[in-house]
Amino acid sequence: MADPPGCCRPCATCLLCLYSCQWITAKKEKRKGLRTTKCDCSWFVFLFCVFFFTLVWLYFAIIILNDFHNFNEFIFKQTKLWLDWSLVLLIATAMLITYSAVLLVLAFCLQLCGQPLKLHWLHKTLLILTALVVAAAFTGLGIKWAEEWRSAHISLQATGPFLHIGIVWGMTLLALPLASFIYHTRNTGLKVFLLLVYCAVMVALYLAPLGLTSPCIMEENQLPPKPALVGHRGAPMLAPENTLMSLHKAVDCDVQVFETDVMVSADGVPFLMHDEDLTRTTNVQAVFPERAALNSTAFNWTDLQQLDAGSWFLERRPFPTMQSLSAVDRYEVTKQRIPSLEQVLEAAKQTNISIMFDLRPENHSDYQSFVNATLEVILESGIPLQQVLWLPDGFREQVKQQAPGIQQVYGRKRLQNEKEPLLHVNLPYQDMSSEEIRQYRQDNISVNLYVVNKPWLFSVLWCSGVTSVTTNACQVLKEMKRPIWLLPSSTYLMIWIVVDCTSFLAILWAFLLLKKCSQRRRPAESETDVLLTKINSLMQE
């Protein structure tokens, strides 16, 4: 097969070497009669599928970063080893997609240069391993973290219009190698099949925006107010979670509600703690090594006050924002202790910030006494009861009777035959659609969704009209003055039409160009064949 014009022989040789792991010059290749077989074509299709599969996983990996701190906490509970596993995920994914992308580019270049696609067995083995690793990742995601599938669906509301543009132009670029293959192969059935498949895919992509919806496709004057911020355990990217320092950092971020978790000590003192044990966020293993595995409620208040609740933040660096801490902040971190609910309520009263909390553990045999102790502290603190948002479902009626001013927040959607209307709901962001959020807003129901850390997700929920969001990244969301993007429907329609039209023209140009090049080569090849025939006849004479 002759090299197309513009493809130098050394370049073709290097490409063939990298793809086939064999140093075969173009002359030797012709002498050996190497050609792209059906098996080689099958491996090319497999390579393309692996690349696409890995690209989809990269998208998922970027999306689940919003919730990855939960995964880090889960791994710590199992292994007692803290590591930011998001870095491992991104590095591994980048390596896999880079490898498959390089091979795919090499294959396209070889096709344009008219060289055979002889994939080496080592590349075949690595591609199979790549496919297995990505398949295992998707399987694990579906088993252990199934809600992230809904996160991916929500993410399409933020990325859908731009993914559409990227995929259209990615498929448009495929027109060049596809046209080259079609004009080189002599298999008419294969030509027709590939053209039909390609045309069907492009038509589907051109019409895809008909099925794409996003709450951010709206006029500027229709944009709802910016959602209020609820600090998830305070400001955990700027200070140790569930500490007074974290509360004050949250206030500095214009957070309106401090969301936390309350437990009750063995001697009846409510205090702030999320985990069932103290190993992740205190130095309990150093102070009480023989009791480190006990439930947090097994310690009395005197023991809890001996624990350092801040130094772990400097040692384990749970978030990358650790680098931005000043020397003063670092010193203050080391002075943090487990705060009592009484201390937190006093700080909330002084800073005029509301407090929303869960009471843990819900399955404890003394849970009613926990409720009584917590209510007693709230009523004695003197904080305005409207600043307290009550999340626990257990003994809720008792709480309503003893402290009717406390705002009741429900961790569920409203029921059809609700006895009394819900005023506040607190749900995972995956559990409510944009349509439900709008309906709740019309019915004057306050909707708080958790945990929202990434600007893209905050933008989607902002456009949907959510009342507030619980976040770890209050310092990031505070700076957002508007959603990442906001497009009027007329502007999006214009972009859609322009992208589709330019893509169609580019594909048409690619096929016409390759056809012209193919027609130029044929007369030259015919003249060469005639000359070789004459020379052969003369030699025989």
pLDDT of residue 46: 95
Amino acid at 414: R
Residue 529 has pLDDT above 80, yes or no: no
pLDDT exceeding 90 applies to what percent of the chain?
74
Encode pLDDT of 14-61 as tens digits. 877 888 876 655 455 444 546 778 888 889 999 999 999 999 999 999
* Alpha helices for 80-120 (secondary structure H): 85-112
On whether the pTM is more than 0.95, the answer is: no
Structure confidence at residue 129 (pLDDT): 97
pLDDT higher than 60, residue 163: yes
Write the burial class of residue 279 (CB in 10 Å: 0-12 exposed, 13-18 middle, 19+ buried): middle
Which residue's entry shows tokens 């700080």? 347
Which superfamily does 228-479 belong to? Phosphatidylinositol (PI) phosphodiesterase (3.20.20.190)
Which amino acid is residue 351, in one-letter code?
Answer: T
Q: Where in the chain is the domain with CATH 3.20.20.190?
A: 228-479
Q: What integer pLDDT is reported at residue 522 of this predicted model?
A: 55
Cα–Cα distances in Å, from 296 out to 342, 373, 536? 18, 16, 94
Per-residue model confidence (pLDDT) at position 40: 87
Q: pLDDT at residue 4 above 70?
A: no
Cross-strand pairs, 270:
264
Q: What is the pLDDT of residues 273-321, one digit of tens each?
A: 999 999 999 999 999 999 999 999 999 999 999 999 999 999 999 998 8
Q: What is the pLDDT of residues 504-514, one digit of tens each?
A: 999 999 999 88
Alpha carbons 14 and 18: distance in angstroms, whole number: 6
Q: How confident is the model at residue 187 (pLDDT cuts 50, 70, 90)?
A: confident
Measured distance CA(432)–CA(215) in Å, rounded:
13
